Amino acid sequence: MMPTRGTAAPDLPLPAGQAAERYRRNRRSDLAIWWREIDRPLLFMVLILMAIGAAAVAAASPASARRLSTAKDHLGDLHFFLLNARWQILGLAVMFTASHLAKNTARRAGIVIAAVAIVMLLLVPVVGAEVNGARRWIKLGVSIQPAELLKAGYPIVLAWILSWRARDPEMPVIELSVVLMGLVALLLMLQPDFGSTILFGGTWFVLILLSGISFRRVALIGGFGAFAVAATYLLYDNARHRIDAFLGGGTAFDQVDLAQRTLLNGGFTGTGFWLGNRKFSLPEAHTDYIFSVIGEEFGLMACAAIVVIFFAILVRGLVRLLDEEDLFTVLAGAGLLCQLGGQAFINVLVNLQLFPSKGMTLPFVSYGGSSTIAQCLCVGLLLAITRRNPFLSGDGHRFASAGDRR
């Protein structure tokens, strides 16, 4: 029966071949749109870091494998390299999946991730596994560190709360963010994890500055932060010992001193791949002190290149945010970049003996399971949040005037 004039023809099912072709055509179109809208330079720099990380873990793997081998369990020289390759492949899948999300979906995903991570942090003191005197992991078939997972959601949920002020300036968003930061700090210090607390606290401070806050409040927050650090020094033995060792110069057997000696052993050009010898006396060569292994085997020039790449990622991300007109996008993007850059430079400064020892990996370079997945998830959400049609340009927007800073 022919359709009458003015009546749409009914949608008839397509033959299998035509339906498959339409699906492929739509899929290619979606990928083309994704490729056009994401921040490709930032993605390329992250992929370069991951490639460097694969080579660095291969260089550090023999040192850690031999240190952790026992008479019963012998680890091959490439043990950690092979494990890291699996985590990197999974991390890339997570990154590309997250980067395909729409901005609103990425915001909801970040909020859910933060909520799940906080629940897991609540469970850590009860069911967490203890390693090296700290209870930071939950074993669910594989070891998961909730603090790493929180890094992907915390900046997003914090930006979401602070962005409410754009709709209603009377909302107590600063107070709500203080409650969130206080809860996270309390849960982290119960493990204890002072380094992650400092990292999350720094991210919170940067975001409240960007959201518009009076200088009087900034001074109060600075004073409270100094008090919190002093109290931690007095009450937290591990932090006090590490700070004392840092200020006192340490000894030849300190981890930071060993890391610096390893870093400088290769000179500007390095000893060559698998030719370093000081790395075998270095604890955690494949994680916390992989930057020193890179310095020994690939040279100080390679270390400088890694620092430049991290700096370029931060600059690229911040420059892209300058054209954004949505307060949430600016805050979430800045928070994710702040966490990434903060963790990277803390790790580098520890290896240079310019910061007290802290068990913090070098993003995308160090070996890690939950840390690699969390870092890739952070970048995937950052790419999703900052997706932009290249044919549309914004004039930028000033979110907080001097009169709004109360």
For 248-306, write each residue's pLDDT tens digit. 655 545 777 788 888 989 899 999 998 989 998 888 889 989 999 999 999 999 999 99
* Residue 405 burial class via C-beta count within 10 angstroms: exposed 0-12, middle 13-18, buried 19 and up: middle
Q: What's the token pair of residue 73?
A: 């369990």
Radius of gyration, alpha carbons of the chain: 24
The CA-based angle 320-167-321, given to 5 degrees, is 5
Sole residue written with tokens 């800073």: 405
Over the chain, what is the mean pLDDT? 83
Give the whole-angstrom CA distance, residue 181 versus residue 204.
Answer: 7
pLDDT value at position 392?
Answer: 57
Model confidence at 399: pLDDT above 70: no
Number of helices followed by number of strands (H, E) in the chain: 14, 3
- Tell me if 153 sits within 8 A of 114, measured CB to CB: yes
Output phi, psi for 159, to 5 deg: -65, -35
pLDDT value at position 22?
Answer: 58
pLDDT value at position 340?
Answer: 94
pLDDT value at position 42?
Answer: 95
Output phi, psi for 139, to 5 deg: -95, 115
The total number of residues written for the chain in this structure: 406
pLDDT value at position 91?
Answer: 95
pLDDT digits (tens, 9 = 90+) for 134-160: 677 787 767 788 999 999 999 999 999
Model confidence at 97: pLDDT above 80: yes
**DSSP H helical ranges for 249-298:** 255-265, 290-298
Q: What's the rounded mean pLDDT across residues 50-79? A: 90
Among 258, 247, 251, smallest CA distance to 289 is for 258
- Tell me if 400 sits within 8 A of 211, measured CB to CB: yes
pLDDT value at position 305?
Answer: 96
Distant-in-sequence, close-in-space partners of 200: CB < 8 Å, separation ≥ 6: 150, 154, 181, 184, 185, 188, 339
- Tell me if 250 sits within 8 A of 257, measured CB to CB: yes
Distant-in-sequence, close-in-space partners of 363: CB < 8 Å, separation ≥ 6: 49, 310, 340, 343, 344, 371, 375
Q: What is the pLDDT confidence band of residue 73, given thresholds at 50, 70 and 90? A: confident
pLDDT value at position 245?
Answer: 65
Q: What is the pLDDT confidence band of residue 402, given thresholds at 50, 70 and 90? A: very low
pLDDT value at position 26?
Answer: 64
Model confidence at 17: pLDDT above 60: no
pTM of the model: 0.85
Q: What's the token pair of residue 290?
A: 């992989």
Listing DSSP states for 232-251 in one string gives HHHH-HHHHHHHHHHHH---
Model confidence at 395: pLDDT above 50: no
Residue 20 or 173, more confident: 173
Highest mean pLDDT: which range of 8-22, 177-191, 201-215: 177-191
Residue 211 or 327, more confident: 327
Give the whole-angstrom CA distance, residue 330 versus residue 316.
Answer: 13
Q: What's the token pair of residue 275?
A: 């030719």
pLDDT value at position 132?
Answer: 63
Residue 222 or 348, more confident: 348
Q: Please tell me the least confidently modeled range out of 6-15, 47-56, 190-199, 330-339.
A: 6-15
